[in-house]
Amino acid sequence: MLTGAVWWIASGRPTPPARLASVGVDHTDVAAAAGRIAPHARHTPILRTELDGRPLVLKLEHLQRTGSFKLRGALNALLGGPRPTHVVTASGGNHGLAVATAARLLDLPATVYVPERAPESKTRRIEAAGAKLVRHGSAYAEAAAAALTEASTSGARYVPAYDDPLVIAGQGTCAAEVVADAPEVDALVVAVGGGGLAAGTVLGAGGRSVVLVEPENCQAMHDALAAGTPVDSVVDSVAASALGATRVGALPFEVVRSGDTRSVLVTDGELLAARDLLWEEFRIAVEPAAAVPLAAWLAGRVEADLPCLVVCGANSEWIPA
**SS3 of 143-205:** HHHHHHHHHHHHCCEECCCCCCHHHHHHHHHHHHHHHHHCCCCCEEEEECCCCHHHHHHHHHC
pLDDT digits (tens, 9 = 90+) for 55-97: 999 999 999 999 999 999 999 999 999 999 999 999 878 899 9
pLDDT at 19 over 50: no
Q: Which band of pLDDT confidence, cut at 50, 70 and 90, is reported for residue 17?
A: very low
For residue 203, pLDDT beyond 80: yes
Question: Top-level CATH class of 27-68+164-310?
Answer: alpha beta
Domain ranges, ordered by start, for the chain: 27-68+164-310, 85-155
Residue 134 above 80 pLDDT? yes
May I ask the CATH class of domain 85-155?
Answer: alpha beta
Mind listing the pLDDT tens digit for each residue in 254-274? 999 999 999 999 999 999 999
304-319 average pLDDT score: 88
Sheet holding 209-215, edge to edge: 46-51, 54-59, 307-310, 187-191, 209-215, 261-266
What's the pLDDT at 220?
95
163 by Cβ neighbours in 10 Å (0-12 / 13-18 / 19+) ranks as: buried
Q: Residue 36: count other Cβ atoms within 10 Å of its Cβ.
A: 20
